[in-house]
A and B are shown apart, each in its own frame.
Chain A
Amino acid sequence: MDDHEKAITPNESLKLIEEMINRARNNFGDNGHLYLLWGWVIALCSLGHFVMWHFRLVAHPEMIWMVTWATMIYQAVYLRKRKKASRVKTYSDDILGYVWLVFVVCLALTAFVLIQYKERQALYSMFLVLYGVPTFLSGKVLKVRELTIGGVFCWVLAIASTFIIVKFQLLLIMLSVIVAWIVPGYAMKAKYNKQKLYGEGE
């Protein structure tokens, strides 16, 4: 597009508009890094918690979840760097940022409320319900089918979790993040790398 004032017909104009909107939309900016990070952290924590609890290896197996605090610090640094490096801001980035923020707040409040009411046995089931919400919405907004399916899968596991004892619900948490975050994370990473290879990426 080097012509300074190239005249175009109405048909060409519409084609150009369509093409440019598609180019902006097809700019897939998420490399799946945070889905993979949190997927692996939660999967390993829930597995570790289960193993230590089941085989009575330590007095407080739940302490393994302290790893998530370190992960949060890493995430904050990573997001700051990513924001700096990003050349384009989209409305969907903003929306998804708020969706995940609401998820974290709801997760913390749910844990607080259930512990206050001494309803610990419902904790993991409620976590599974909540895991499904941002995952499903992210799948729809980013048009990543694996995430949408992962969101629904979390809700199915939430129902299933009510039929098993709390200790084994930890294995459902692990299964949920494998399907809802790890599998989509690798799919997003592949899509991002492919786009970068063909020079369309961010």
Chain B
Amino acid sequence: MFKELDPILHSQLRLAVMSLLISVKEAEFTFIKEKTNATAGNLSVQVQKLKEAGYIEVVKQFKDNYPLTTCQITKKGIEAFENYVKALQGYLNTDN
């Protein structure tokens, strides 16, 4: 039986964001935008979905009078990411 792939993570941009955040402690929105080559609007939508799922924590504050959004992966997000990778491996092992 195949494990079902987490629909929250099985989307190109959301997976890219999670893969970036799993490698660092925290990152600013502009950093994620630059690394994923996404548009601000699309990234905002996907970040919001990850936040609603409890996979990331989003902190909004001000730095030098400019709004600053910082994202950080949560424990739940790490677990979900690990399970997703395990499920992927299951698919690939069957393919080979």
Chain A residues packing against B (C-beta within 8 Å): 1-8, 10-14, 16-17, 19-21, 23-25, 27, 84, 87-91, 93-94, 202
Residues of chain A within 8 A of B22, CB atoms compared: 21
A88 in contact with B26 given A23-B35, A24-B35 (CB within 8 Å):
yes
CA distance A69 to B19 in the complex (A): 42
Residues of chain A within 8 A of B12, CB atoms compared: 1, 3, 6, 8, 12, 16
A contacts with B: majority SS:
helix
Offer 23 A-B interface pairs, CB within 8 angstroms, sorted by A. A1-B36, A1-B42, A2-B42, A4-B13, A4-B42, A7-B11, A10-B5, A10-B88, A12-B12, A13-B88, A16-B12, A20-B23, A20-B35, A21-B23, A24-B19, A24-B23, A24-B35, A87-B27, A87-B31, A88-B27, A90-B24, A91-B25, A94-B25
Q: Are A89 and B35 in contact (CB under 8 A)?
A: no
Q: Are B11 and A6 in contact (CB under 8 A)?
A: yes
Q: How many A-B residue pairs have CB under 8 A?
A: 92
The 9 closest A-B pairs by CB, nearest first: A20-B19, A24-B23, A87-B31, A10-B91, A87-B28, A89-B25, A88-B27, A6-B12, A1-B38
Considering the complex, give the chain B residue whose CB is closest to the CB of A24: B23
Residues of chain B within 8 A of A24, CB atoms compared: 19-20, 23-24, 35
B contacts with A: majority SS:
helix
Q: Are B38 and A2 in contact (CB under 8 A)?
A: yes
A20 in contact with B16 given A1-B42, A88-B28 (CB within 8 Å):
yes
Smallest beta-carbon distance B13→chain A, Å: 5
How would residues 2 to 43 of chain B score, 1 for a CB under 8 Å from any chain A CB and 0 otherwise?
Answer: 000100001111011001101111111011000111110010
Residues of chain A within 8 A of B84, CB atoms compared: 13
Q: Are B28 and A21 in contact (CB under 8 A)?
A: no
Q: Are A88 and B24 in contact (CB under 8 A)?
A: yes
Chain B residues packing against A (C-beta within 8 Å): 5, 10-13, 15-16, 19-20, 22-28, 30-31, 35-39, 42, 45-46, 63, 84-85, 88, 91-92, 95
Smallest beta-carbon distance A39→chain B, Å: 28
Smallest beta-carbon distance B43→chain A, Å: 8
Smallest beta-carbon distance B81→chain A, Å: 9
Q: Are A20 and B28 in contact (CB under 8 A)?
A: no
Residues of chain A within 8 A of B31, CB atoms compared: 87-88, 202
Q: Are A16 and B15 in contact (CB under 8 A)?
A: yes
Considering the complex, give the chain A residue whose CB is closest to the CB of B31: A87
CA distance A10 to B4 in the complex (A): 11
CA distance A27 to B39 in the complex (A): 20
Smallest beta-carbon distance A198→chain B, Å: 13
